[in-house]
Structure 1
Amino acid sequence: MSKTTRATQALQGAGIAFSVHSYDYDPNAERIGLQAAEAMGADPASVLKTLMVLVDNKPACVILPSDQEVNLKKLASALGGKSAQMMKPADAERITGYHVGGISPFGQKKRVPTVIEQSALEHTSVFINGGQRGLQVRLNPRDAASALDAKAAALV
């Protein structure tokens, strides 16, 4: 497995301190973020998942703890929209340039508005997908939000 991805290159380019962690990715896992947390022995609240959504039919990225579910009404409101829905996996892959299970908010092909669950900012460090299945980056969540120009909001 390569430890260099578009995500890690984007973080390096932004001058963000991070470490790379790999784990055994289970393609049959029901909830990928929770499987990653378990495989790494990490608190699920500190392993953040990346979801691609459509808000008023425009793409956006959502980052939230792997043990939480996004409230689509709160998400739409956070981005000034009326409605939100999950993006189809094929569309998420096309827009991000990553495969489902390896979608990172960093280094996506197309920059889209990003929202991070505000509770994630309470951690000193979090894990976020590093742009490849089985690869996570560990970093300060405030650095992640800054690098992504992400808005913090209550999303759950």
Structure 2
Amino acid sequence: MTPAINAAKKAKVPHQIHQYHHDPAAESYGLEAAEALGKSPQQVFKTLLAADDAGKLYVAVVPVAGKLDLKALAKAVKAKKLVMANPADAEKATGYVVGGISPLGQKKRLPLVLDDSASQFDTICVSAGRRGLEIELAPADLLKLTGGSLGPVGRG
């Protein structure tokens, strides 16, 4: 059990856990997950962290098929400029390893923006807290559990 799964269970949010064999040689953890689950890469989301000049961290959840738009995330969280967070800082703040960072059950609650493309799906998949483990839940439930917001932060 991971903190992400525990958070969903504790909140009594409907969810499904998907486990698959993670290949350490996989080029993209997210695309590997989509393929293993037989899901569209638009319905499987990756969790990325960005930082402002002061080192404050922000979480973006975007489709694995696309990229994070740092300018759009900065606008959504009212930051002047953001850069991708240092992986060590991301791991320390979330309690998860890169490639398995879940938006749920993080050590510190960070401002989170879910790409608005998620609203086209009844459920989306995000990391459940380790490589090879995904949790599927409704986008609204993800936002409820994280205190996050919806915004156009991903790009094709």
Match of 2:98 among 85, 100, 108: 100
Q: 1:63-114, CA deviations, whole angstroms, 9 ceiling, x for partnerless residues?
A: 0111010111111000001111111111111111111111101111111000
C-alpha distance in 1, partners of 2:112/2:52?
11
Q: How far has the Cα of 1:127 moved from its partner?
A: 0.6
Aligned pairs for 1:2-151 within 5 A: 4-56=1-53, 57-151=55-149
Gaps of 5+ in 2: none
Aligned length: 153
C-alpha distance in 2, partners of 1:76/1:55?
8
Counterpart secondary structure, 1:46: coil
Q: How far has the Cα of 1:140 moved from its partner?
A: 0.8
Q: How far has the Cα of 1:25 moved from its partner?
A: 1.2
RMSD: 1.1
Counterpart secondary structure, 2:46: strand
Q: How far has the Cα of 1:149 moved from its partner?
A: 1.1
Percent identity among equivalent residues?
41
C-alpha contact 2:99 2:130 (8 A) present in aligned 1: yes
**TM (normalized to structure 2)?**
0.94
Q: How far has the Cα of 1:40 moved from its partner?
A: 1.5
Q: How far has the Cα of 1:49 moved from its partner?
A: 0.5
**TM (normalized to structure 1)?**
0.94
C-alpha contact 1:9 1:107 (8 A) present in aligned 2: yes
C-alpha contact 1:55 1:79 (8 A) present in aligned 2: no
C-alpha distance in 1, partners of 2:22/2:80?
35
